């Protein structure tokens, strides 16, 4: 800061001076003294050295910075909120699209699953029907053998599996159908000798029945001859005729019984063949069932299925063997 300027004093030597602060005359022994006191000039302070200015400026800068950063923060928050809102809208839109797509896919999967369940059940039902029809082929006339109608439903069901099933399931269904056809051809080889023997047994049985009818008629005629004729030669002739007729009847009856027993053996052989083919086909059924269960996300074990199949097969063989043993005892005993 600048130094203070002393007050300006003017002295008149001729007059006494009375000093005043307002520049009045002051009386002195030597005369009057005029003293004028000039005010101390206000010093000029640079703005960068003025505390008041600096405080105000600092306050202004602080307020400005506070306003600026508050505005900047508000702007950033608004931008973030706007971005977050946009992101949430986009996410909501995407989620809605995903939900609609998922719902459509689930509906489609449900329709496919429903169709698959119906087709798979149809395949198994038709397979059971086809196996039953094959087991009863010996009851049909070989000249009018109807196989196609018994397997038509299974072929149609397997074709449906090709539309809805997984590729592994489709493969196993066709393997099952092929196993059935192969078994059918092997079984048909038994039908020719069986039907031939069946015809022989029926012919001999019919002949035995004719002999019985003839014997009954002859017996009635013989009774009349024996009751009315006195001719010994005639009586002897009809008696011998009766003996010959009875012998022929017994022969034909024995042949008919032997033919029926032979037919029964052929029936047993056919039954054994059916059991073996059913066991082979059953394993293919197990493989198909395993694929179906895999599609349904069910626990699967082919070994367990095969073990159950083998156990059931052994039980059938044991029951069949026991039945035949009892039948053989019956025939061997002559009862």
Distances (CA, A) of 234 to 216, 224, 230: 19, 12, 8
Are residues 150 and 20 both part of a single domain?
no
Are residues 20 and 136 both part of a single domain?
no
Print the domain residue range for 129: 109-324
Question: For residue 66, is it within any domain?
Answer: no
CA distance linking residue 76 with residue 64, whole number of Å: 18
Are residues 246 and 120 both part of a single domain?
yes
pLDDT in tens, the chain (335 residues): 444 444 444 444 444 444 444 555 555 566 665 666 666 666 666 666 666 776 777 787 888 888 888 888 888 888 888 888 888 888 888 888 888 888 888 888 888 888 888 888 888 888 888 888 888 888 777 777 777 777 888 888 888 888 888 899 899 999 999 999 898 888 888 888 888 888 888 888 888 888 777 777 767 766 666 666 666 666 666 667 667 777 777 787 888 888 888 888 888 888 899 889 889 998 998 999 888 888 878 888 888 888 888 898 889 888 888 888 887 777 665 54
Are residues 13 and 136 both part of a single domain?
no
State the pTM of this model: 0.60
Instruction: Please tell me the total number of residues recorded for the chain in this structure.
Output: 335
| Count of the separate structural domains present in the chain | 2
Question: For residue 123, is it within any domain?
Answer: yes
Are residues 174 and 256 both part of a single domain?
yes
Are residues 276 and 168 both part of a single domain?
yes
Question: For residue 237, is it within any domain?
Answer: yes
CA distance linking residue 324 with residue 272, whole number of Å: 12
Question: For residue 185, is it within any domain?
Answer: yes
Are residues 183 and 314 both part of a single domain?
yes
Are residues 27 and 158 both part of a single domain?
no
- The CATH number linked to 128 is 1.20.1270
Are residues 293 and 214 both part of a single domain?
yes
Are residues 173 and 301 both part of a single domain?
yes
Are residues 34 and 115 both part of a single domain?
no
CB proximity list for 60: less than 8 A, separation 6 or greater? none
Question: For residue 318, is it within any domain?
Answer: yes
Question: For residue 274, is it within any domain?
Answer: yes
Are residues 20 and 135 both part of a single domain?
no
Q: How many alpha carbons lie under 13 Å from residue 326 in its C-beta half-sphere? A: 5
């Amino acid at each position: 800061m600048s130094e203070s300027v002393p007050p300006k004093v003017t002295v008149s030597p001729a007059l006494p001076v009375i000093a005043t602060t307002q520049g009045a005359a002051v009386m002195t022994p030597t005369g009057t003294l005029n003293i004028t006191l000039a005010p101390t000039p206000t010093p000029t302070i640079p703005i960068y050295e003025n505390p008041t200015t600096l405080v105000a400026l600092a306050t202004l800068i602080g307020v400005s910075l506070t306003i600026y950063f508050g505005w900047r923060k508000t702007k950033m928050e608004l931008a973030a909120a706007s971005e977050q809102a946009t992101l949430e809208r986009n996410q909501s839109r995407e989620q809605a699209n995903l939900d609609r797509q998922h719902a459509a896919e689930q509906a489609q999967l449900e329709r496919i699953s429903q169709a698959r369940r119906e087709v798979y059940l149809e395949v198994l039902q038709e397979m059971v029907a086809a196996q039953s029809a094959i087991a009863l082929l010996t009851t049909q006339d070989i000249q009018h053998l109807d196989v196609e109608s018994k397997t038509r439903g299974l072929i149609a069901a397997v074709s449906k599996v090709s539309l809805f099933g997984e590729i592994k399931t489709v493969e196993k269904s066709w393997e099952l159908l092929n196993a059935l056809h192969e078994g059918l051809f092997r079984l048909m080889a038994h039908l020719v000798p069986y039907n031939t023997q069946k015809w022989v047994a029926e012919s001999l049985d019919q002949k035995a029945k004719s002999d019985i009818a003839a014997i009954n008629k002859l017996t009635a005629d013989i009774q009349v001859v024996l009751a009315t004729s006195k001719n010994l030669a005639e009586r002897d002739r009809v008696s011998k005729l009766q003996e010959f007729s009875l012998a022929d009847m017994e022969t034909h009856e024995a042949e008919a019984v032997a033919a029926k027993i032979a037919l029964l053996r052929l029936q047993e052989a056919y039954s054994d063949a059916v059991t073996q083919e059913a066991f082979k086909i059953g394993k293919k059924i197990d493989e198909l069932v395993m694929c179906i269960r895999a599609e349904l996300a069910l626990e699967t074990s082919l070994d367990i299925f095969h073990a159950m199949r083998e156990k059931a097969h052994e039980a059938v063989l044991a029951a069949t063997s026991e039945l035949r043993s009892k039948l053989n005892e019956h025939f061997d005993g002559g009862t």
